[in-house]
Amino acid sequence: MTASQPVDFAQITRARELPAELREQLVDCWVRVINAGGAVIPRELPMPPVNTGQADPALGLLVGALDPRRARMLIATVGGKLAGWLIVRRDPHPLVAHCGAVNHVMTHPDFRGSGIGTALMHRVRELARQEMGLEQLHIAVRAGLGLEEFYGRLGWREIGRWPGGLRVSPGDDRDEILMYLAL
């Protein structure tokens, strides 16, 4: 990312809003992130390596659940190229409807280290507060990747851990770290 190429953001709030070309880019990004060791592996996908044929149906499930009141996809582009994306969700239950969860945060490997992750997290904070009316956000991250430090620099606080809750591979158990951000 350079000063001459700012980050642009778009939201997808319904499945019908996602163009086929962008869907292909999202799937490609997801596959590349997972296969590069990223921590965005949903239950619907096997452990790496994964391919686009496996990731496309998983993306379909995410996109199919989008709704402007409850779940949105935030997309970052630079110079017209997909640079990163995430999902922000509101729980529909009245006791926790003021809270949201951020999932599937990823930066395209071609844009790593260029500030895309930080830009996405700043923008999702604004979107959650101003457009969705949320008061707090939650995220769960995998230990051992420096993610808790990244989110901590952005104001997120660790509120708990599930020790050894994530088995990356036999003999490689990691804590799942729960984090919170007041909006």
Summarize pLDDT for 127-139 with one digit per residue, the tens.
999 999 999 999 9
What does 56-74 look like in DSSP terms, one character per residue? HHHHHHHHHT-BTTTEEEE
The reported pTM is 0.95
CB 50 within 8 Å of CB 26: no
Q: What is the pLDDT of residue 4?
A: 58
What's the pLDDT score for residue 104?
Answer: 96
Q: Count how many residues are written for the chain.
A: 183
At residue 145, does pLDDT exceed 80? Answer: yes
The 3-state DSSP class for residue 136 equals strand
Render pLDDT for 6-15 as a digit per residue (tens, 0 to 9).
999 999 999 9
Q: What is the pLDDT of residue 43?
A: 83
CB 76 within 8 A of CB 85: yes
The pairing of beta strand 136-142 with beta strand 7-12? unpaired
Q: What is the pLDDT of residues 49-91, one digit of tens each?
A: 999 999 999 999 999 999 999 999 999 999 999 999 999 999 9
